Structure 1
């Protein structure tokens, strides 16, 4: 584990209760993506929510009839809202068998993975999802990477990596995914939501 990853994990451990309170309600763009999966997958489909934090999106997807397991590196984030069925794990080495899930959901989490290690994470996503299975991936759009202070805990910092669609599409293709669509929106940062399918 790199220093970037360990420091970011420690930050999330420290801010877990505050984070869980602040982000309990999903933005409409995220709820719309969850609704889109309802049209793509049968009820009971298995989804891995990777970088799940306190499990808000895990619950969002479960409410739509899916069987969802959340994975996150921060133990305190996993405990923050006492959501059952969450597992501590590194997205670069997921404790899942090959083709174990029907879809992968990774929203605002891969952006913390140092750029040289992104192919490793994408390779894990491809390994654990069945052929034809969808991937929902949300990242910060832009250039560069670096440390950012937490707005409500400015003494703490997180590592952020920004991505552009074209190079990310190429990385996904190398991992075994075909990009099927994308959307953009802006809040305190510019967001890129990429939809892909396992080849």
Structure 2
């Protein structure tokens, strides 16, 4: 594990209870995206929530009838909202998931913690675990550069953040076996890219 990942994981372990409280209510766009996914996949489809944190999105996906496993590097994050079955500590660079076993991968605000040189490894893992035609919903910070950011409500702690542009990230997705079906943008405390892609 790189120093970036180890430090970021340690930070999430420490802020997990406050993080779970602050993000207990999901924004409307998340609900809309999950409903979009429900309309495109059959009931009972297998979905992985990668970088699931306390599992708020995992719960919403399950409520829509999907069979969902949530994965996060921070064990404290996995238990911050009560834990439960189907939440697994794992590194997205080496997912404990069978090849071509999933119908969809949901990865929201998690790839942005992966150092840029390691992003192709993660996208390759997403491509490996998805069946042909499987869907990827990917949300990342939009912009340039990467570096440490202090946690706004705990300034002594920091996380590694990487920003992406659609063109180079789209090229990496293509190399990993995906077709980019579309993308959109939104802004909160930072600018975001939301990408829809399908496994060849």
TM-score normalised to structure 2 length? 0.98
Could you tell me which runs of 5 or more consecutive residues in structure 1 were left unpaired when the two chains were aligned: none
Task: Write the deviation string for residues 85-132 of structure 1: whole angstroms up to 9, x where unpaired.
Answer: 100000000001101111000000000000000000000000001000
Q: 1:71 maps to what in 2?
A: 71
SS of residue matched to 2:179: strand
Q: 1:19 maps to what in 2?
A: 19
SS of residue matched to 2:132: coil
SS of residue matched to 2:121: helix
Deviation at 1:83, TM superposition (A): 3.3
Q: How does 1:167-186 map to 2 (within 5 A)?
A: 167-186=168-187
Q: 2:166 maps to what in 1?
A: 165
Q: How does 1:101-116 map to 2 (within 5 A)?
A: 101-116=102-117
Distance across 2 between alignment mates of 1:11 and 1:100 = 32
Deviation at 1:5, TM superposition (A): 0.6
SS of residue matched to 1:81: coil
Distance across 2 between alignment mates of 1:162 and 1:27 = 21
Q: Kindly report structure 1 stretches of 4+ aligned residues shifted beyond 3 Å.
A: none
TM-score normalised to structure 1 length? 0.99
SS of residue matched to 1:130: strand
Could you tell me which runs of 5 or more consecutive residues in structure 2 were left unpaired when the two chains were aligned: none
Query: Superposition RMSD on alpha carbons, in Å?
Result: 0.6
